[in-house]
Structures are given as structure tokens and as C-alpha cells.
Structure 1
Amino acid sequence: MIRIEMNRVAGDYGFEAKDANGHSLTTDTSPEGGGTNAGVRPMQMLLMALGGCSGIDVAMILKKKRQELTGFRMDISGEREAGREPSLWKTVHVIFDLQGHNLDQAKAEQACQLSMDKYCSVAETLRRAGAEITWEVRVTA
């Protein structure tokens, strides 16, 4: 069983989340929502989780394929449902920007596809909630 501890640390809505290993992050809401902007919004954190989950997958797959990454960046954007509560992610787009010496485009695309369609639990969680997830892969030397 996984356990996360949440403690209010800033204003009315600012919380610190801590895992069993002592890693922590702060969440909050916008000043318009009554918060103090002291941390990441929880829905943004879902997109960060998608990047973290998929990033680990892609790096692992490429390592197994003996593809050396010298740089790895992702740009993740999304649009939420308008006028609904709760307002879920409607669309999410991920740009994988991979750098490496002799990095093979086809292997990079396959690694990203495997992550997004097969291995990334966060992507599947978002999809089951109705999000349409698209992605593209850019490879540079």
C-alpha cells in the first residue's frame, strides 16, 4: 500500500505532500480561487505525473535499445472541460524532444509509442477519465 501525508502549510489551501521516503512538494490554488499561489495546482500535477511516468518509460526503453540520450525534454499541454465540475482533462498533447548522438528516429518514436499506449499508468488513468492524449517526437543530435 502506498501512503501520502498531506499537511496544510500555507494559507487556507496550501498543502505539503510527503511520501514515505520523505520526498515532498507543495500544492495550492490561484489567488483567484482563494489561494496564495504557494505551490503546484493539483490538476497541473497530473500533467507533471504524466511526464514523469512516460519520461522514465522512454528513457528505460531507449537504454534497452542501446540508444544514448544526451538530452530529454517534454512539453506537455492540456485543455480542461469548460463549465463542468469536476473539470477533467479533455485533451493532452506531449512533445518529446530527444537529443542523442546517432539517436534513431524510429526507435525513439517506438519508445514513446510504447510508453504512451502500453506502459504509462498515468496516461491510461487520464484516458480512462476521457482525455484524448496525442504526442509527437522530435529527435536532434
Structure 2
Amino acid sequence: MTRIELDRVSGDFGFEAKDAFGHTVRLDSSPETGGANFGVRPMQLLLMGLGGCSGIDIVSILNKQRQAVEDFHMTIEGEREKGKEPTLWETVHIHFALKGDIDPDKAKKACELSMDKYCSVAATLREARCIITWQVSVNGETVYNNNTLHHTK
């Protein structure tokens, strides 16, 4: 069982979350809803978790294939539902930008395996009917883009 602890430490909505290993994350609401920009919005943290989860998968897969990942940058963009409560993530697009001595086909396959099979955060978002699209570039060249495909439940 996973255990997370949260304490309010700043204003009305400024929380600090701590995992069992003592790692901390600061969370807050937006200033428009009474927050003070003390930390990350909880729904943004979910997208950060998506990036971390898929990034770990992708680097692990590429390392096993003896691909030399020298740099890895992700951009994650999302749109939430309008006019609903709760406002779930409706669409998310990820750009995986890898640099190094990496076979483009292996990079595409590693990203595909993460997004469609291994990443638990991606699976959780898909269960909530979020459409996740992604693209891969290696050394500045786009090698895959499924921005027009829809991944649903």
C-alpha cells in the first residue's frame, strides 16, 4: 500500500505532500480560486506524473536496447473539459524529444510501448476517456506523430 501525507503549510490552499521516502511536492490552487501560487496545481501534477512515468519507461527500454540517450525533453499540453464538474483532462499531447545515438525506429517503439502498454498514468487517463496523442523526435527530426489518432477506452 502506498502512503502519502499532506499538510497545509501556506494560506488556505498551500499544501505540501510527502511520500514514504520523504520526497515533497508543493501544491496550491490558482490565485483566481483563492490560492497564492505556492505550488503546482493538482491537475498539472497529474500531467507531470504522466511525463515522469512515460520518461522512465522510455529511457529504460532504450537503455536495454543499448541506445545512447544523451538528452530527453518532453512537452506536455492538455485541455480540460469545459462547463463540467469535475473538469477532467479531455485531450493530452506529448512531444518526446530525444537526442543521442538513437535508432529512430527504436525510439518510436519505446514511446509506443510506454504509452500503450506500460505507463500506468496514461492508462489511468485513458480510463477517464482522455484522448492522448504523442509525437517523437530524435536529434531534431520528427520520426512519429499520431496527433490525428485517438486513444480511447
Superposition TM-score, scaled by structure 1 size: 0.98
Who is 1:122 aligned against?
121
User: What count of residue pairs does the alignment treat as equivalent?
Assistant: 140
* Percent identity between the two aligned chains: 63
What residue is the counterpart of 1:113 in the other structure? 112
Question: How far apart, CA to CA, are the structure 2 residues paired with 1:88 and 1:30?
Answer: 16
Letter paired with 1:69: V
Structure 2 counterpart SS, 1:56: helix
Deviation per residue, 1:8-30 (Å, 9 max, x gap): 01100010000010000100011
**SS of the residue aligned with 1:87?**
coil
How do residues 1-141 of structure 1 correspond to structure 2 at under 5 angstroms? 1-101=1-101, 103-140=102-139
CA distance, structure 1, for counterparts of residue 30 and residue 8 of structure 2: 16
Q: Which has the higher contact order (CA 8 A, sep 6+)?
A: 1
Q: What is the alpha-carbon root mean square deviation over aligned residues?
A: 0.7
CA distance in 1, matches of 2:21, 2:115: 27
- Structure 2: segments with no counterpart, 5+ residues: 141-153
Q: Which structure 1 segments of 5+ residues have no match?
A: none
Superposed CA deviations along residues 91-110 of structure 1, whole A, max 9, x for unmatched, are 00000000002x10000000
User: What CA distance in whole angstroms lies between the structure 2 residues aligned with 1:127 and 1:121?
Assistant: 10
Task: Show structure 1 runs of 4+ deviating over 3 A.
Answer: none
1:84 deviation in Å?
0.4
